[in-house]
Structure 1
Amino acid sequence: MQSPRAKPRLLTLILLTSLAVMSLNMFLPSLSHIATDFGAPYSVVSLSIGGYLGVSAVLQLVMGPVSDMIGRRPLILGGLALFTLASVGCALAGNVWIFLGFRMLQAGVVSGMVLSRAVIRDVAEPAEATRLLAVVGSAMALAPLLAPMLGGALGEVFGWRSNFWVFALSGAAMFVLSWIDLAETNLKRQNSFRAQFRTYPDLLRSGPFWAYCACLIFSIGGFYAYLAGAPQVGEKAFGLSPSSLGLMMGATAVGFMAGNLVATRIGARVGTMALIVSGRWASLIGTAGAMGLLAIGLFHPAVLFGGAVVLGFGNGLTLPGANVGVMSVAPHLAGSASGLSGALTVAAGAVLTPLVSAMVGGPMGVYVLLGAMAAMSLAGVFAAYVIRNHERRLQPV
């Protein structure tokens, strides 16, 4: 048996995060087939996305504090068990409502993503944690790119239910791996919910916590805006086919992975704060620069998607350090901070996505889209400087 402070293998944490990310979008190519199979409106079946995000946001709020109280390991194992059983339920569902009910329960897998960050913060010093989160972040870039390709192939060959059988098998495999490899890393647990929430206001009253949250929200918000508007803009403004659009949207993951790679290689040398600020400026310059190039006549889809790649690169620089920072404000509440910041980010995305989607339908859609991405990036720059000023005040004179 592992010692209580034994570090899990990094691969375990990467796979936990990847499964949580893939569960969101792997089956999307089969969404219309699900609607046809159940004889249900597409709008009802699409609740498998919106409802899932809503449940995930609530769970992220709860899982962090509970993991600070009872530990990371029980929640991760419980979330994987629930995800596995719910995936079987989705695969066997006989009508759309049963399917949606089990789909909501699948959100238990979010424990793997939320608490993997807290586990890293438990076992590593901030500089090392930033490097590890950058590596795990690469999985968050690659998984959404590969998942729809895999899900589409499975749906075409074996039918849409095969996606959920793969989820079930993956969840069971991750349960076994986590049982073997993931020891408890939270050694400073709270005694009760009452004790937990007596200290929780310390987090909520922390200005640095909200500054880090704002940095995360605006960084990821730019990417949410892009995901919401790029399909419409790509088709209407540039006449891209679905296959071309999918290829160009997928290429943006390369930017994020490149940013993570740079953060991994030079983070210890230049410092976390420099990466956060540089990442926000890179995203702003990329999106604003793309707007400028379109305005002077370089009206080509490569300009839009090039700006998105640079935005992804900036996020790859910023997010590892910002995630560590939000959990380092109150280390005894690392799980709570991870859960709350994740929930706020998902909630902001849920609000931003329909707004951008509704605004980019007109003739100026490409400018509206890049403007929204640039606005998010600019707000992220301000948040980064607030964080930097706070960190400088804490440094000894």
Structure 2
Amino acid sequence: MSDLPRGRFLNRQSPPHVLTLTLLAGLSALSMNIFLPSLPRMTEYFQTDYQIMQLSVAVYLGVNAVMQILVGPISDKIGRRPVILWGVALFLLATLGCIYAPNAALFLMFRMMQAVVVVAMVLSRAVIRDMVPQDQAASMIGYVTMGMTVVPMIGPAIGGFLDESFGWQANFWMLFGAGTLILALTYADLGETGSQSGLSLGRQFREYPELLTSPRFWGYSLASGLSSGAFFAYLGGAPFVATELFGMPPSQMGLYFGAPALGYFFGNFLSGRYSSRFGVNRMVNWGCWVNAFGVSLSMLLFLMGQGSAEVFFGLMTFVGIGNGMSIPNATAGALSVRPHLAGTASGLSGAIMIGGGAGLSALAGALLTPEGGAYPLLWIMLLTSIGGVVAIQLVIRRETHLGL
């Protein structure tokens, strides 16, 4: 990592330290999954149905997607730093709302508001693209995401322990404490890296067609979105599979649930190590194939009657590895289609990925039944992972045809 740019730590006049960017992205990831082992207990607490509480994943992802559309142009207009600081501060207020919500409806409302923390993830990537060129950006995003994945890797395990020891609210108190510390660190360390566009906000949004008419932008965004779609479907369906199909308590589910994050850590290491050498297209292609392989093998073993918790969660590591290779590189590719719109591209490509993920998460939760077992979830994951392979193949063919 010696070739990565380094800011002066805790100096607002220089680019941020890699640690700051990693923790910002990690906070966004932690808020997505730390409470998932608590869903059964939260269902009892609010005296509602599991499908209602499972919406805490889908509505979060849905608002997350909308926020990403807004965040990019706003940050291109006024800068990365103020948008990140305000986003984390609003996240803290929403987290307190989740803790003290008296019913499921208000909890879901504050859960939707928590999605504002997506500014930390989206703009940490845009900051990187501000600092370095495409292939190096893919490497740096890979290293940042590799560090970030330690958080969701251990998040569900910690969440399960906190739930059993102190109740489901303890997960959100942990989010509040971590968010407070990261807000202070970001205020002290994050220097502005974006150059203000000088365009009005309306003009910023009118720049979207420049991206939306680019086949390469769509190819990279769909490759990232469809590849990660397998993971988002997993987020929506795996808690049901773990509790209803395999009878796991929260603490055990938390340990098993981190399997994709373990693979994601390794996949991002490969991105950080090899993206500059092999280029983003090869890395996305290989990652999409690894993703599809893991889901296909899991489906095959279940069809052969060999399905188990160890098979289901263990093979999810391949989904993580594939996503760790494809997402950083596809993101760097999408941001580099129009470098002067890096913030807008980061938000729009992220919205495509997370918006699709919200739909897939809700679909998985709706289709799963005790009678159907894990098959509806595995079919959704298989079809989306194959779609990712197709998307990046189209990008590669187009670039070969155009001689890029």
Fold-level similarity (TM above 0.5): yes
State the Cα distance separating 1:15 from its structure 2 match. Answer: 0.6
State the Cα distance separating 1:34 from its structure 2 match. Answer: 5.0
State the match for 1:335 in structure 2.
343
Separation in structure 2 between the aligned mates of residue 41 and residue 372 of structure 1, nearest angstrom: 23
State the match for 2:288 in structure 1.
280
Q: How does 1:108-127 map to 2 (within 5 A)?
A: 108-127=116-135
Residue 28 and residue 195 in structure 1: after superposition, are their counterparts in 2 closer, same or farther (change >3 A)? same
Q: How does 1:169-248 map to 2 (within 5 A)?
A: 169-233=177-241, 239=246, 241-242=248-249, 244-248=252-256
Separation in structure 2 between the aligned mates of residue 158 and residue 246 of structure 1, nearest angstrom: 15
Q: How does 1:349-368 map to 2 (within 5 A)?
A: 349-361=357-369, 365-368=373-376
State the Cα distance separating 1:68 from its structure 2 match. Answer: 1.0
State the match for 1:84 in structure 2.
92
State the match for 1:271 in structure 2.
279
Question: Runs of 5+ in structure 1 lacking a partner?
Answer: none
Contact 1:359–1:365 under 8 Å retained in 2: no
Separation in structure 2 between the aligned mates of residue 362 and residue 32 of structure 1, nearest angstrom: 15
Does residue 251 of structure 1 match 2:259?
A: yes
Separation in structure 1 between the aligned mates of residue 65 and residue 352 of structure 2, nearest angstrom: 7
TM-score computed with the length of structure 2 as normaliser: 0.86
State the match for 1:17 in structure 2.
25
Separation in structure 1 between the aligned mates of residue 53 and residue 308 of structure 2, nearest angstrom: 35
Computed over aligned residues only, the root mean square deviation of the Cα atoms, in angstroms, reads: 2.9
Separation in structure 2 between the aligned mates of residue 303 and residue 217 of structure 1, nearest angstrom: 25
Contact 1:288–1:371 under 8 Å retained in 2: no
Does residue 381 of structure 1 match 2:389?
A: yes
Residue 234 and residue 181 in structure 1: after superposition, are their counterparts in 2 closer, same or farther (change >3 A)? closer
State the Cα distance separating 1:298 from its structure 2 match. Answer: 4.3
Partner AA of 2:199 in structure 1: N
Residue 85 and residue 299 in structure 1: after superposition, are their counterparts in 2 closer, same or farther (change >3 A)? closer
Name the stretch that deviates more: 33-42 or 217-226: 33-42
Separation in structure 2 between the aligned mates of residue 303 and residue 152 of structure 1, nearest angstrom: 21
State the Cα distance separating 1:325 from its structure 2 match. Answer: 0.8
State the match for 2:324 in structure 1.
316
Residue 172 and residue 395 in structure 1: after superposition, are their counterparts in 2 closer, same or farther (change >3 A)? same
State the Cα distance separating 1:10 from its structure 2 match. Answer: 0.7
Name the stretch that deviates more: 168-177 or 39-48: 39-48
Separation in structure 2 between the aligned mates of residue 35 and residue 236 of structure 1, nearest angstrom: 14
State the Cα distance separating 1:246 from its structure 2 match. Answer: 4.2
Does residue 69 of structure 1 match 2:77?
A: yes
Does residue 138 of structure 1 match 2:146?
A: yes
State the Cα distance separating 1:219 from its structure 2 match. Answer: 0.5
State the match for 1:128 in structure 2.
136
Contact 1:60–1:110 under 8 Å retained in 2: yes
Contact 2:291–2:320 under 8 Å retained in 1: yes
- What is the aligned counterpart of 2:162 among 154, 166, 170? 154
How many residues of Structure 1 are paired with residues of Structure 2 in the alignment?
Answer: 394
Does residue 166 of structure 1 match 2:174?
A: yes
Secondary structure in structure 2 of the residue aligned to 1:308: helix
Residue 181 and residue 355 in structure 1: after superposition, are their counterparts in 2 closer, same or farther (change >3 A)? same
Q: Deviations over 1:274-307 (max 9, x none)?
A: 1111111222223223334444564454443343
TM-score computed with the length of structure 1 as normaliser: 0.87
Separation in structure 2 between the aligned mates of residue 366 and residue 3 of structure 1, nearest angstrom: 49
Question: Runs of 5+ in structure 2 lacking a partner?
Answer: 1-9
Contact 1:229–1:369 under 8 Å retained in 2: yes
Separation in structure 2 between the aligned mates of residue 155 and residue 362 of structure 1, nearest angstrom: 24
Partner AA of 2:134 in structure 1: P
Separation in structure 2 between the aligned mates of residue 312 and residue 202 of structure 1, nearest angstrom: 32
- What is the aligned counterpart of 2:66 among 58, 80, 90? 58
Residue 177 and residue 362 in structure 1: after superposition, are their counterparts in 2 closer, same or farther (change >3 A)? closer
Name the stretch that deviates more: 365-374 or 219-228: 365-374
State the Cα distance separating 1:342 from its structure 2 match. Answer: 1.5
Separation in structure 2 between the aligned mates of residue 44 and residue 363 of structure 1, nearest angstrom: 20
Separation in structure 2 between the aligned mates of residue 245 and residue 151 of structure 1, nearest angstrom: 10
Contact 1:216–1:323 under 8 Å retained in 2: yes
Contact 1:222–1:376 under 8 Å retained in 2: yes
Name the stretch that deviates more: 12-21 or 341-350: 341-350
Secondary structure in structure 1 of the residue aligned to 2:207: helix
Greater Rg over alpha carbons, structure: 1
